Amino acid sequence: MTRNVVTGGAGFIGSHLTEFLLGCGEEVVVWDDLSTGSMKNLEACMGKPGFTYVISDFISDPSFDNAVRDADCVHHLAAAVGVELILRSPVRTIETNIRGCERALSVASRYGKRFLLTSTSEVYGKTSSVPFSEEDDVTYGPTSKHRWSYGISKAVDEFLLLAYCDSPALPGVVARLFNTVGPRQVPYYGMVLPRFIQQAKRGGPLTVHGTGTQSRCFAHVSDVVRALHALMHTDAARGQVVNIGSDEEISILALAKSIVARINPSAEIRFIPYEEAFEPGFEDLERRVPNLEKARSLIGFAPSKSLDTIIDDILEHQRHSP
């Protein structure tokens, strides 16, 4: 039976991945310090055969070594999340991302374990020509703008993983995730979709940053975790960086309008200038669309859920666990 370590397993994506792995009959040991994750995310896993968890900081906890030694696969998801958290805590963002990945990779390579790193479309920086392909050049803003520290710290993680993969000791793969959404995602750190849903339910206003012409593509977390599992077990994906997400693009204003229409037609949409929402000089990405060709050819990946289905699913989940 495959035994997995999932760092960040109490987070939004980590908990869905854990449920998926248990559903495949695999064993999972979750490692999470609950800095942004929550044990509530793992309620459905409690008591399931093959599920254990450790609430601890795996960067400093020596027993993480044994957990990895006894596992077959390491899924490294623990990371700082969300633009707002990054702007509030830039030191924590950089240290969590770089030290965490260094630690997970060094232990996994010592034992030659399969390794998957979840990275982010932030690695593309402010590249403007869409769709984004894995081998594209990237452009970032200046180091005086904290926003870019997130993408650059995850790019360093990718470099490190790819460097480890050059020695045969580490069969690793990088999944670059684009705006993953779904049940249990919290609105606290940015995350526009759960935030708009919460704002609409509370009577508004929905806070659209800038003019709302900026667009994103939202993928259901169930599609994403299926892809992570496939990447982990596909030999041809070793040493590769692979975009995972949806390529169905929607502007943020259109998203706000659609949520207002569904949830609360009387809720107001309010435009907030970026400098008020974030900080003076904040730069946003106008468009962020993945080229999914590599994911399709390596693992046959295609997103299966439309944005409407995703929103229905989130609302349905909230009805059962408000």
Tell me whether residue 72 or residue 284 sits nearer to ligand UDP (CB atom): 284
Tell me whether residue 154 or residue 209 sits nearer to ligand UDP (CB atom): 209
Q: Quick check: 195 binds ligand UDP (CB under 6 A)?
A: yes
Closest CA to 109 of 78, 75, 69, 62: 69
Q: Quick check: 216 binds ligand UDP (CB under 6 A)?
A: yes
Tell me whether residue 85 or residue 161 sits nearer to ligand UDP (CB atom): 85
- Count residues contacting ligand UDP (CB under 6 A)? 14
Report the chain's terminal Cα–Cα distance, integer Å. Answer: 35
**To the nearest whole angstrom, how small is the minimum distance from the Cβ of residue 242 to ligand UDP?**
19
Q: Quick check: 209 binds ligand UDP (CB under 6 A)?
A: yes
Specify the stretch interacting with ligand UDP by CB under 6 A; choose among 48-56, 188-196, 223-231, 262-270.
Answer: 188-196
Q: Quick check: 289 binds ligand UDP (CB under 6 A)?
A: no
Cα–Cα distance list, 302 to 224, 245, 296 (Å): 10, 8, 6
Tell me whether residue 248 or residue 284 sits nearer to ligand UDP (CB atom): 284
Tell me whether residue 85 or residue 107 sits nearer to ligand UDP (CB atom): 85
Contact between 171 and 236 (Cβ < 8 Å): no
**To the nearest whole angstrom, how small is the minimum distance from the Cβ of residue 276 to ligand UDP?**
11
Q: Which residues pair with 206 in a beta bridge?
A: 269
From the list 130, 208, 242, 295, which residue makes contact with ligand UDP (rule: CB under 6 A)? 208
Specify the stretch interacting with ligand UDP by CB under 6 A; choose among 104-112, 123-131, 154-162, 186-194.
Answer: 186-194
Q: Quick check: 252 binds ligand UDP (CB under 6 A)?
A: yes
From the list 5, 30, 191, 259, which residue makes contact with ligand UDP (rule: CB under 6 A)? 191
Q: Restricting to residues 137-166, which ones interact with ligand UDP according to CB under 6 A? A: none
Q: Is 188 a catalytic residue?
A: no
**To the nearest whole angstrom, how small is the minimum distance from the Cβ of residue 214 to ligand UDP?**
4
Write down the catalytic residue from 53, 124, 140, 150: 150
Q: Which residues pair with 119 in a beta bridge?
A: 176
Binding mask 65-104 for ligand UDP (x = CB under 6 A): ------------------x---------------------
Burial 27-45 (b: 16+ CB within 10 A, else e): bbbbbbbebbbeeebbeeb
Binding positions for ligand UDP, rule: CB under 6 A: 83, 179, 190-192, 195, 207-209, 214, 216, 252, 284, 288
Catalytic residues: 150
